[in-house]
Amino acid sequence: MKISILSRSTSLYSTKRLLEEARKAGHIAKAINVLHCNIKLEKQKPTVYYHGERLVTPDAIIPRIGASITFYGTAIVRQFEMMNCFTTVSSMSLVCSRDKLQSLQLLSRSGVDMPKTVFTNFGDHTDDICKQVGGPPVVIKVLEGTQGIGVNLAETIAAADAIIDANNELRSRVIIQEFIKEAGGADLRAFVVGDKVVGAMKRQAQKGEFRSNLHRGGTAKSITLTKLEEQTAVSAARSLGLGVCGVDLLQSSRGPLVLEVNSSPGLEGIERATGKNIAAEIIKYIEKGVHA
């Protein structure tokens, strides 16, 4: 089977591991930088050109599309779908997962629990907004942020007002979320492949920081999820139509709450924390999907 990993660099841990496990399983695997791809559109002949040469259609693709190239990367994934390639992440699901607001709306519609969230059109009634999510304190997030960037904790109405005003001036849209104090600056990352969680870790923020992202100095350790946590993670993935994803959960007094669903989750943190071969699970998922 021919597998193409859509990645901007073969030096990235996740890309290297997927190439390694695909080849170990006997497949022909290579990485393709989507920024060097062109697509040709004509009647019933979708084509992808790579470095100017027509690309032989792979059996499957693994999109590893960075947030900064979502639009172009999604177009390339869509083209491969038109060529009847199996993909671990569909173009539609990729777009939905990158839109924080839309993904939360889909989760809400599917009955997946999450922190209370308010979205407003550059609103100036900060006190009312904070009360709607049970605060202050409240968490304020820009819709385009990744890896904890653009996420702020406002301890007071005045602080929330200043953050919202600053974003309004920049015409940067934000969501305001309930602060889950009992989570204690920690969250859970559940790695979902197909219809099951194949690995999970608990990430803890460093002292004085409420964001648990590993890129911001957080630490991680392996954890066994409860049945409800597993069910919530799988339901979140299913609601966005994602075959492979990372689901971030908060442990709260009312049960697990979904913070975010990541359609291009990194493998390094989860594999090192859990000792599990997540890359191999993804390859098995592809084998099953292609031959279904």
Which pLDDT tens digit goes with each residue over 83-95?
999 999 999 999 9
Comparing C-alpha atoms, which of 62, 118, 48, 5 is closest to residue 243? 62
The reply to whether 133 and 228 lie within a common domain is no
Confidence band (pLDDT; 50, 70, 90) for 213? low
Are residues 189 and 276 in contact, defined by beta-carbon separation less than 8 angstroms?
A: no
Q: Residue 165: which H helix or E strand, with range?
A: helix 157-169
Q: What is the pLDDT of residue 151?
A: 87
**Count of domains for the chain:** 3
Query: Average pLDDT of 26-39?
Result: 96
The reply to whether 6 and 79 lie within a common domain is yes
Q: What is the pTM of this model?
A: 0.89
Query: Average pLDDT of 219-243?
Result: 95
Please name the residue ranges forming H helices in 222-267: 227-239
| Beta pairing partners, 199 | 191
| Residue at a domain's end among 179, 194, 217 | 179
Total Cβ atoms within 10 A of residue 50: 17
Domain assignment of residue 168, given as a range: 117-179
Q: What is the pLDDT of residue 291?
A: 80
Confidence band (pLDDT; 50, 70, 90) for 169? confident
Distance separating alpha carbons of residues 136 and 209, to the nearest angstrom? 17
Which pLDDT tens digit goes with each residue over 96-147?
998 889 999 999 999 999 999 999 876 668 888 898 998 789 999 888 755 5
Q: What is the pLDDT of residue 216?
A: 57
